[in-house]
C-alpha cells in the first residue's frame, strides 16, 4: 500500500521510567482508495461516528498493544456489527499489530475518569453535551 501520510507515534510518559519503544501505527486503506496511517482507535471511531448510543471512544498504548475502549449506553445489533466489521478490517490490514477493542456497557460503579486518565480521547459525549 502506498503511504501518503503518517501521524506521530503515541509516546507514553511514565515519570522517570524509560520510554517504551512505540508500536507502529496501523495502515488502512480508506473507502476512496487512498492510503493513510491510522491507529486502531481512529479507525473504530470512524465506524461509530454520529451514533447517539456512543458515550466515549478512547485509546491507550498498553505495554504490548493498543487498547481501544468504546463505551455505550445501549448495544443495538447494527452498532455492534459496525464496530466488529471495523475491527475485522483492522485485523486484515494491520499486519499483525497487536490491539484489543473493548466494547463496554458499564455498570453503575463505573467512572469515566478511569478512561480519561492516560488515554487518547477520540470522542467524549460529555464534551458536547456537558454531561456524562
Partner 1 sequence: MGTSDAEPYLRLVEHDLEALDLITAAARGRTPTVDVSDWQCTLVYYMACIYVKAVGRARGKDLQDHYQLKQWINTTTDLVPITRPYRKLEERSRDARYEGRRFTRPELIETIGWFAQVRDHLVGVLKEEGVEGIPVVDPTRFV
For partner 1, the binding residues (CB under 8 A) are 65, 75, 77, 80-81, 84-85, 87-88, 91-92, 96, 98, 100, 102-107, 109-110
Identify whether the C-beta of residue 81 lies closer than 8 Å to the C-beta of residue 20: no
Nearest approach, Cβ of 45 to partner 1 (angstroms)? 17
**Closer to partner 1 by Cβ: residue 87 or 124:** 87
Q: How far apart are CA 125 and CA 48, in angstroms?
A: 12
Query: What is the closest distance, in whole angstroms, from the C-beta atom of residue 89 to partner 1 in the complex?
Result: 9
Of residues 11 and 116, the one with the C-beta less far from partner 1:
116
Strands 99-104 and 66-72: parallel
d(CA 94, CA 92) in angstroms, rounded, equals 6
Q: Which three cell numbers stand for residue 64?
A: 504490548
Nearer to partner 1, 4 or 105 (CB): 105
Q: How far is the CB of 15 from partner 1 (least distance, A)?
A: 27
Q: Helix or strand or coil: residue 39? A: coil
Residue 89 in grid coordinates: 478490517
Q: How far is the CB of 99 from partner 1 (least distance, A)?
A: 9
Amino acid at each position: 500500500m502506498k503511504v501518503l501520510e503518517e501521524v506521530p507515534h503515541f509516546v507514553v510518559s511514565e515519570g522517570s521510567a524509560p520510554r517504551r519503544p512505540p508500536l507502529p501505527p496501523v495502515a488502512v486503506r480508506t473507502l476512496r482508495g487512498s492510503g493513510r496511517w491510522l491507529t486502531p482507535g481512529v479507525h473504530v471511531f470512524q465506524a461509530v461516528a454520529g451514533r447517539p448510543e456512543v458515550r466515549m471512544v478512547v485509546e491507550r498504548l498498553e505495554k504490548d498493544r493498543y487498547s481501544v475502549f468504546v463505551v455505550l449506553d445501549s448495544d443495538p445489533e447494527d452498532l455492534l456489527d459496525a464496530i466488529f466489521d471495523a475491527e475485522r478490517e483492522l485485523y486484515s490490514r494491520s499486519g499483525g499489530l497487536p490491539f484489543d477493542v473493548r466494547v463496554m456497557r458499564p455498570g453503575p460503579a463505573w467512572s469515566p475518569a478511569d478512561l480519561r486518565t492516560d488515554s487518547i480521547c477520540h470522542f467524549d459525549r460529555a464534551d458536547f453535551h456537558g454531561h456524562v
